[in-house]
Amino acid sequence: MFDEVYRIFTGNEDIKRPAKVLFWAEIGRASMGLGSYFMSLPLLQLLPQGDEHPVLVIPGFMTTDRTTAPLRFYLKSRSYVPYRWQLGRNLANFHEIEEKV
């Protein structure tokens, strides 16, 4: 499964998946990042409140709205109105999504 060749979303290049050890290291890094987010929440609550204006939260490259859930939760707790972008995975195809955003 990890040694198979896959096509990038453009379909022009062949790439191999990373080694298993890199995959598991990424899982560990992500869980530590999430843990540090929850540990920093008390400090983040000391920042000033928002004024209830809307905020569009765009996910990072190759991620979805799921990854922005902690940020949207925080923004909502600070009296902002966060919105998901609701366009699926961010493939950086800006010309196709420009009108939708």
Q: Are residues 54 and 28 in the same domain?
A: no
pLDDT at 81: 96
Whether the per-residue pLDDT at 14 is higher than 80: the answer is: no
pLDDT at 10: 54
Q: Are residues 26 and 67 in the same domain?
A: no
Q: What is the pLDDT of residues 36-86, one digit of tens each?
A: 988 998 998 898 899 999 999 999 888 889 999 989 999 999 999 999 998
pLDDT at 15: 66
Residue with tokens 């453009």: 10
Overall number of domains in the chain: 2
Average pLDDT over residues 16-39: 85
H-helix or E-strand containing 40? helix 20-44
CB 75 within 8 A of CB 55: yes
Domain residues for the domain of 16 are: 1-46
Q: Are residues 81 and 42 in the same domain?
A: no
Whether the per-residue pLDDT at 3 is higher than 60: the answer is: no
H-helix or E-strand containing 44? helix 20-44
Whether the per-residue pLDDT at 6 is higher than 60: the answer is: no
What pTM was computed for the model? Answer: 0.62
Task: Give 45's contacts (C-beta < 8 A, 6+ positions apart).
Answer: 77
CB 72 within 8 A of CB 57: yes
Q: Are residues 38 and 55 in the same domain?
A: no
- Give the long-range contacts of residues 65-70, CB within 8 A, separation 24 or more: 70/34, 70/37
Q: Are residues 68 and 84 in the same domain?
A: yes
pLDDT at 84: 92
